[in-house]
Amino acid sequence: MKGKRCFQTILALVIILTFFVGTWVYGYEKRDGKKIIVYGERQPAPNIDPSQFYDWSTRMLQQSLYDALLKYVGNPPKIVPWLAKSYKKSKDGKTWTFQLVKNAKFHNGDPVTAQAVKWSFERTLTLNKGPAWMLVDFLDKAGIRVIDDYTIEFNLKSPYAAFEMALPWWYVMNPKVVMANEKDGDSGQEWMKDHSAGSGPFRQKRWEHGVLYELEAVENYWKGWGSPKHIDGFIYKIIRESASLRMGLEKGELDAVAGLNSDDFDAVVKNPNIYVTNDPGWTTFGLKMNTQKGFTKDINIRKAICYAFDYPSMIKIYNGNAILEDSPFPKGMKGYIPCPNVYRQDMKKAKEYLAKAGYPNGGFELEYVYVSGLEEERLIGLVLLDNLAQLGIKLNIVPLVWPNMVARASKVETSPDLTAVFTTPILNDPDVVAVQYHKMSWGKYYGSHFYQNEKIWDLIDKARYTPDWKAREKLYKEIQTTIMEDAPELFGMLYNRRWAFRKPVKGFVFSPVRLTSEIDIYPLYIED
């Protein structure tokens, strides 16, 4: 009897609680009549200082809060003048002169002048952090000259063909605001990590680290808005699980998401309230092979591996949303050519090369290292394991956390036989990819092949300093085919970049030069 009463009490409590909770409503996208988009992604952006950080989540917010002289737009990415009205370079490619627009204003109303541009570039160069590596070899503070309030000149130490391509990531800050918040001579670094001093289309509203970042549209943005239905606000919400992102989107708590796994993307596309974009990206996936140590030192073994691999299986792993690489450069990038000497599975050739290396029946072991947690990399490793087993080669698949992988890749002695690596070119210039095969990339994760070919290094240097594009184009053609021939890497695939949006969200413009899940918020609008 007592037990029954107790059970009834508990049941009553549960019913009351369920009723109580169930009456609440979740998921808003409007506040005071303003239309706000909620974007879900996994990666936080703990530091938005343009002189200190530039990873994709940071850059997405920086792009909204700040403006740069130039901006990347569309696919293939074009450089369009932004704070600059026009610009020209000298014949020797060393002097670049920019005319600024006169109506650009920082969020506090101060005009964006050549002095502010100079100060911003000087700050990034002095701090020598974040994006500084892009220009630090070519530009020093003495080379920046203010001609008048709206004209600025950059005198490079040596010609650098990709100079203009780097400029979209060098944002212009308001020196007055930054220096007003300087502490102990830190150039405002402490303050700028979660504050902004820009002139971009959005300003900060709510900043809750580890939870969300809210931006509100600057109604009288100096550049104007592309659509009268532009969004009034944008919330970047941190959601760490693909399953939660999918649930949030389907439930309407989120209006746009990135970072879903392939199966979740394929599932949400069936939802009538959701659409999914699907564009070939520039993020290359390859297996870097240590060319200076172990079995992979022998070019014949590297070629045997390249011929043994079942390339189309990678497309299957991505549910068909990927294309195979046929060059060290991503398809669509300036200077890209499909290499005639590309490798595809041919077990007969693989065995020939293995015999040439003196191991006709294999009989040795290779190590395949990938970033733990990246399921696609693990599956690709399993495919390779199966392929190499047919040659009598044993593959040892080793997951490593990112710091350990970077540490292993930093020295010839420790660099694995095969390292699974994704790389996204940050600029639309072939130099940024070619340089991965230059000695200067040794020690970096994408240089874990320790590829040595002095002729290629000279060509990369020459192409880098040649101002004339036609001359460069020829050089890059040779660079691509030679690298393919030397096989320092098993060139894999380029996976499609996908985002899922709820139907009313329009205006998304894909640009492959944007990293991972980065989108340009400025053109987004809502169609009810």
Partner 1 sequence: MRRYILKRVLSIAITLIGLSIVVFAVSRIAPGDPAKLAAGPDATEEMVQVIRKEFRLDKPLAVQYISYMRGLLKGNFGRSIRTRHQVWEDMKLFLPATFELVFVSITFSILFGILFGVLSAVYRDTWIDHSARFFSVTGVAIPMFWLGIMLQLLFAARFHLFPIGGRLDTMINSPISITRFFLVDGLITGNWGVFKNALSHIILPAFVLSFPALASITRINRAEMLEVLHKDFVLNEKAQGISERLIIAKYALKNALIPTLTMIGLRYGWMLGGTILVETVFDWPGIGYYAVASAVYSDFQPVMAVTIILGLNFMLVNLLVDMGYGFLDPRVRYE
Asked if 247 interacts with partner 1 (CB under 8 A), we say yes
Sketch the per residue contact string, 430 through 449, with partner 1: x for CB under 8 A, - otherwise: --------------xxx---
Residue 210 or 228 having the CB closest to partner 1: 210
Sketch the per residue contact string, 395 through 424, with partner 1: x for CB under 8 A, - otherwise: ------xxxx-xxx-x--------------
Total chain residues near partner 1 (CB under 8 A): 63
Query: What burial class does residue 444 get, using C-beta atoms within 10 Å of its C-beta: 0-12 exposed, 13-18 middle, 19+ buried?
Result: middle
Q: Smallest Cα–Cα separation from 468: which of 78, 159, 168?
A: 159
Residue 204 CB coordination number (10 Å): 18
Residue 251 CB coordination number (10 Å): 10
Asked if 28 interacts with partner 1 (CB under 8 A), we say yes
Residue 52 or 64 having the CB closest to partner 1: 52
Residue 172 CB coordination number (10 Å): 27
Residue 130 or 200 having the CB closest to partner 1: 130
Sketch the per residue contact string, 46 through 75, with partner 1: x for CB under 8 A, - otherwise: xx----x-xx--------------------
Residue 203 or 444 having the CB closest to partner 1: 444
Residue 83 or 192 having the CB closest to partner 1: 192
Q: Give the nearest distance from C-beta 202 to partner 1 in angstroms.
A: 17
Show the tokens assigned to 139.
């530009």
Asked if 147 interacts with partner 1 (CB under 8 A), we say no
Residue 20 CB coordination number (10 Å): 9
Part in contact with partner 1 (CB under 8 A); list of ranges 24-32, 111-119, 272-280, 346-354: 24-32
Q: Which residue from 257, 314, 426, 526 is in contact with partner 1, where contact means CB under 8 A?
A: 426
Sketch the per residue contact string, 192 through 211, with partner 1: x for CB under 8 A, - otherwise: -x------------x-xxxx
The H-or-E segment that residue 34 falls in is: strand 34-41
Part in contact with partner 1 (CB under 8 A); list of ranges 15-23, 146-154, 385-393, 505-513: 15-23
487 contacts 303 by C-beta, under 8 angstroms: yes
Asked if 277 interacts with partner 1 (CB under 8 A), we say no
Asked if 27 interacts with partner 1 (CB under 8 A), we say yes
Q: Give the nearest distance from C-beta 281 to partner 1 in angstroms.
A: 18
Show the tokens assigned to 207.
């900043």
Q: Considering Cα of 80, then 81, then 83, then 87, what sign does the dihedral take? A: positive
How many angstroms separate the CA atoms of 232 and 218, rounded?
A: 8
How many angstroms separate the CA atoms of 383 and 315, rounded?
A: 12
**What is residue 101's DSSP assignment?**
P
Q: Give the nearest distance from C-beta 163 to partner 1 in angstroms.
A: 16
**Helices 299-308 & 375-389, crossing angle to 10 degrees?**
110
Q: Which residue from 240, 455, 462, 503 is in contact with partner 1, where contact means CB under 8 A?
A: 240
Residue 237 or 351 having the CB closest to partner 1: 237
How many angstroms separate the CA atoms of 192 and 174, rounded?
A: 11
Q: Which residues of 341-362 are buried (b: 16+ CB within 10 A; e: fewer)?
A: eebeeeeebbbbbbeebebeeb
**Rule CB under 8 A: which of 98-127 touch partner 1?**
127
Q: Considering Cα of 62, then 67, then 68, then 74, what sign does the dihedral take? A: positive
The one-letter code for the residue type at 108 is N
205 contacts 32 by C-beta, under 8 angstroms: no
Q: Which residue from 41, 164, 253, 264 is in contact with partner 1, where contact means CB under 8 A?
A: 253
How many angstroms separate the CA atoms of 198 and 233, rounded?
A: 17
Phi, psi dihedral angles at 339 (to 5 degrees): -75, 135
Residue 135 or 456 having the CB closest to partner 1: 135
Residues that bind partner 1 (CB under 8 A): 2-3, 6-7, 18, 21-22, 24, 26-29, 31, 36, 38, 46-47, 52, 54-55, 127-130, 132-134, 136-137, 189-190, 193, 206, 208-212, 235, 237-241, 243-244, 247-248, 250-251, 253, 401-404, 406-408, 410, 426, 444-446
